[in-house]
Amino acid sequence: MKNFGGHVLFLDRADINTDEIIPAKYLTEIAREALQPYLLESLTLDGFDPKRDIPGKQVVISRANFGCGSSREHAPWALEVNGIRLVIAESFARIFRQNMFNCGLLVVELPCDTIARLFTDYARGETFATADVARGVIQIRTGTKAEEISFRLSDFDRQLVEAGGWLEYADARY
């Protein structure tokens, strides 16, 4: 199982689509590593600069319907080759969510008001978050503030994360 924790990149917008996460013109790359420089290059978000804001981040916190649009698994890959293995949001598009678990990566859905509060309490400073998959808990801290937030993970999603992905799981089973 992969490690899910690190410094947080806050993306304060709903409906961030996979074209914004990794534009289609880079889908001509076959190797995942080649996507590394282009993560979130087309994101429409005031004050966001991918070159400045992405390095050193391992967790994304965002709003509703994250990863909508295209089915490209290049979106999770572009996150992973930048060291981001955990995305926390209010909700996810189906294919993006499945692609993350299929790659052995983790998405965590939290209620709208919890997400809103995380933005209010943590988005301004340097914030660190970790997911404890076994306990189903997110630990988040910044400066003097810290807390634990529990989350739900279905048995199947947990098995995919523990197996390292769907290919590994399915090949052992079918």
Interface ranges with another protein (CB under 8 A): 15, 17, 19-20, 23-25, 27-30, 32, 42-44, 64-65, 68-73, 76, 91, 93-95, 98-99, 102-103, 154-156, 159, 165-167, 170-171, 173-174
Q: Is the dihedral of CA 147, 101, 48, 43 positive or negative?
A: negative
Nearer to another protein, 59 or 97 (CB): 97
* Closest approach of another protein to the CB of residue 157, in Å: 9
* Closest approach of another protein to the CB of residue 29, in Å: 6
* Closest approach of another protein to the CB of residue 166, in Å: 5
11 Cα distance to chain centroid? 11
**Largest separation between any pair of C-alpha atoms in the chain:** 49
Nearer to another protein, 41 or 53 (CB): 41
Nearer to another protein, 15 or 121 (CB): 15
Question: Is the CB of residue 90 less than 8 Å from the CB of residue 115?
Answer: yes
Nearer to another protein, 49 or 156 (CB): 156
* Closest approach of another protein to the CB of residue 78, in Å: 13
Question: Is the CB of residue 154 less than 8 Å from the CB of residue 106?
Answer: no
* Closest approach of another protein to the CB of residue 155, in Å: 5
Between CA 155 and CA 49 the distance in angstroms is 37
Nearer to another protein, 85 or 129 (CB): 85
Question: Is the CB of residue 143 less than 8 Å from the CB of residue 125?
Answer: yes
Amino acid, single-letter form, for residue 4: F
8-state DSSP, 17? B
